[in-house]
Chains A and B, each alone.
Chain A
Amino acid sequence: GDSVTQMEGPVTLSEEAFLTINCTYTATGYPSLFWYVQYPGEGLQLLLKATKADDKGSNKGFEATYRKETTSFHLEKGSVQVSDSAVYFCALSDLRTGANSKLTFGKGITLSVRP
C-alpha cells in the first residue's frame, strides 16, 4: 500500500536558519503530494501541495518540489521564524476523479525555532 516516510525529529533551529525536512513516499498510482502543518493548539492546515512531477508547491516562504525519480517531496525554507514552530506532516493522496482521495500521512516532525 501507499506510505510516507519522514525524517526523524524533533528539529531545533535558530531563527533565520535554513530548513530542510525530508519526505519520501511509496505509491502504486500517481499521487498528489502535500505538506500539512499543525500549530500548537490548532487543527491541521494545508501548507502546500504539488499534483504532478516537477511541480513546485510554495506558501509562506516554504517550498517543496515533486521529484518522481527519487519519490521525494522535501520541504525547505530559507529563513525560519519563531512562528514556524509547529508539527509538519508530509502526505499523499490520489486525486483522480472518482477516487477516494484519502490522505496517507507520515509520522510528522516537530520543528522548534529559537529566537
Chain B
Amino acid sequence: DTGVSQNPRHKITKRGQNVTFRCDPISEHNRLYWYRQTLGQGPEFLTYFQNEAQLEKSRLLSDRFSAERPKGSFSTLEIQRTEQGDSAMYLCASSSNEQFFGPGTRLTVL
C-alpha cells in the first residue's frame, strides 16, 4: 500500500510528557501538511513542508510544537510538555496536487 501512513495510531500520555508522531507520505509527493482535528470540528492547518523546507506555520502551532522533515521524506511532529488541550487527532497529508490523508494519530493527554 503506497498511501500516507502515520505512527502511532493512538497515544495516551500524561500531562507534561513529550510525544512524537511520525508521518510517511506518498513517496513522490513533495508537499506535506499537518492538521489537527478536535471532536466535532473539521481539521485545522498546523504546518506545511515543501520538500525539507517548512514554509508556513499556523498560529495554532505554539512554541511547544515542532515539526521536521529532515530529508524531504518522512516528517515528525513533536509536542513538548503536553497539556490536556492538546488531546486531538493529528492528521498528516501529502500532495503533488490533491491532498491524500493518513489515518491520523489520536492523542489523549491525561
Contact = CB atoms under 8 A, between A and B. Distances in A.
Interface of A: 4, 36, 42-46, 49, 89, 91, 93, 95, 100-108
A91 B95 contact: no
Given A43-B103, A44-B91, A95-B97, A108 B56 contact: no
A105 B101 CA distance: 14
A46 B93 CA distance: 12
Interface residues of B, number: 23
Contacts, number: 49
A107 B41 CA distance: 4
Interface stretch (B19-27, B42-50, B78-86): B42-50
Contacts of A93: 99
A49 B98 contact: yes
B26 to A, nearest CB: 13
18 contacts: A4-B42, A44-B93, A44-B101, A46-B99, A46-B100, A89-B42, A91-B42, A95-B97, A100-B56, A101-B95, A102-B48, A102-B56, A103-B33, A103-B43, A103-B45, A104-B45, A105-B44, A106-B42
Find the residue from A42, A100, A102, A108 having the highest chain B CB count within 10 A.
A102
Contact of A107 (B40, B56, B98): B40
A54 B74 CA distance: 38
Find the residue from A44, A45, A91, A108 having the highest chain B CB count within 10 A.
A44
Contacts of B43: 44, 89, 103, 105
